[in-house]
Structure 1
Amino acid sequence: MAEIVKKATRESFGETLVELGRDNQDIVVLVADLADATKVENFGKAYPDRFIECGIAEGNMVGVAAGLASCGKIPFATSFAMFSAGRAFEQVRNSVGYPHLNVKIVGSHAGISVGEDGATHQCCEDIALMRSIPGMVVLNPADHYEMKAAVKAAVEYKGPVYLRLGRLAVESCNNNDDYSFEIGKGITLREGSDITVIATGLMVGEAIKAVDSLAAQGINARLIDMHTVKPLDQELVIKAAKETGHIVTVEEHNIIGGLGEAVAACLCENCPAPLTRMGVKDVFGHSGPAVDLLKEFGLCAEGIEETVKKILK
Structure 2
Amino acid sequence: MNEMRDAFVKSLLELAKEDKRIFLLTADIGTFTFDIFRQTFPNRFINFGIAEQNMMGAAAGLALSGKIPFVYTIAPFVTMRCFEQIRVDVCYHNLNVKIVGVGTGLAYGSLGPTHQTVEDIAITRALPNMTVISPADPLEAKKVTRAAVLYSGPVYIRLGRSGEPVVYESDYEYQIGRAVSLREGKEATLIATGVMVYNTLKAAEILSKEEGIEVRVINMHTLKPLDQEVIEKASKQTRGIITVEEHSLIGGLGSAVGEIVSEKKNKIFFRRIGLNDAFCSSYGNYEELKEMYGLSVSALVNAVKNILNER
Q: Does 2:303 correspond to 1:307? A: yes
Q: TM-score under structure 2 normalisation?
A: 0.96
**Which residue does the alignment assign to 1:52?**
46
Deviation, structure 1 residue 114: 1.4
Q: Does 2:179 correspond to 1:183? A: no
**Which whole-Å deviations, capped at 9, do the CAs of 1:72-103 have from their partners, x for residues lacking one?**
10000111111110100000000000000000
**Counterparts of 2:98 and 2:276, CA distance in 1:** 28
Deviation, structure 1 residue 41: 3.6
**Counterparts of 2:57 and 2:39, CA distance in 1:** 23
**Residues 179-218 of structure 1: pairs in structure 2 closer than 5 A:** 179-216=172-209, 217-218=211-212
Q: Does 2:209 correspond to 1:239? A: no
SS in structure 2 of the partner of residue 198 of structure 1: strand
Q: TM-score under structure 1 normalisation?
A: 0.95
**Structure 1 residues 121 and 183, CA, compared in 2 at 3 Å: closer, same or farther?**
same
**Which whole-Å deviations, capped at 9, do the CAs of 1:115-149 have from their partners, x for residues lacking one?**
20111100111111110100100000000110000
**Counterparts of 1:191 and 1:80, CA distance in 2:** 35
**Counterparts of 2:235 and 2:42, CA distance in 1:** 49
**Which residue does the alignment assign to 1:252?**
246
One-letter amino acid of the counterpart of residue 84, structure 2: E
* Contact 1:241/1:271 (8 A) holds in 2: no
**Which residue does the alignment assign to 1:3?**
none
Q: Does 2:12 correspond to 1:17? A: yes
SS in structure 1 of the partner of residue 271 of structure 2: strand
SS in structure 1 of the partner of residue 110 of structure 2: helix
**Which whole-Å deviations, capped at 9, do the CAs of 1:175-200 have from their partners, x for residues lacking one?**
234x1110000000000111110010
Deviation, structure 1 residue 11: 1.5
SS in structure 2 of the partner of residue 40 of structure 1: helix
Identity of aligned residues (%): 45
**Counterparts of 2:85 and 2:255, CA distance in 1:** 25
Q: Paired residue for 1:142, among 119, 136, 153?
A: 136
Q: Paired residue for 1:26, among 21, 27, 40?
A: 21
* Contact 1:242/1:271 (8 A) holds in 2: no
**Residues 61-72 of structure 1: pairs in structure 2 closer than 5 A:** 61-72=55-66
- Where structure 1 has 5 or more consecutive residues not aligned to the other structure, the ranges are 1-5
* Contact 1:80/1:108 (8 A) holds in 2: yes
One-letter amino acid of the counterpart of residue 287, structure 1: Y
Deviation, structure 1 residue 310: 0.8
**Which residue does the alignment assign to 1:81?**
75
What is the number of equivalent residue pairs in this alignment? 306
**Counterparts of 2:226 and 2:265, CA distance in 1:** 15
Deviation, structure 1 residue 45: 2.4
SS in structure 1 of the partner of residue 143 of structure 2: helix
Deviation, structure 1 residue 174: 1.5
**Which residue does the alignment assign to 2:285?**
289
Q: Does 2:256 correspond to 1:262? A: yes
Q: Does 2:105 correspond to 1:94? A: no
**Which residue does the alignment assign to 1:110?**
104
**Counterparts of 2:61 and 2:214, CA distance in 1:** 51
SS in structure 1 of the partner of residue 206 of structure 2: helix
Q: Which moved more, 1:280-289 or 1:71-80?
A: 280-289
**Counterparts of 2:79 and 2:229, CA distance in 1:** 28
**Which whole-Å deviations, capped at 9, do the CAs of 1:247-282 have from their partners, x for residues lacking one?**
111111111111000000010113453211111111
**Which residue does the alignment assign to 1:169?**
163
**Counterparts of 2:36 and 2:254, CA distance in 1:** 36
SS in structure 1 of the partner of residue 107 of structure 2: helix
**Which whole-Å deviations, capped at 9, do the CAs of 1:5-57 have from their partners, x for residues lacking one?**
x22211111111111111111100001111239x6343222211100111111
One-letter amino acid of the counterpart of residue 44, structure 2: R
**Counterparts of 1:26 and 1:48, CA distance in 2:** 13
**Counterparts of 1:270 and 1:135, CA distance in 2:** 25
4+ runs deviating over 2 angstroms: 39-42, 270-273
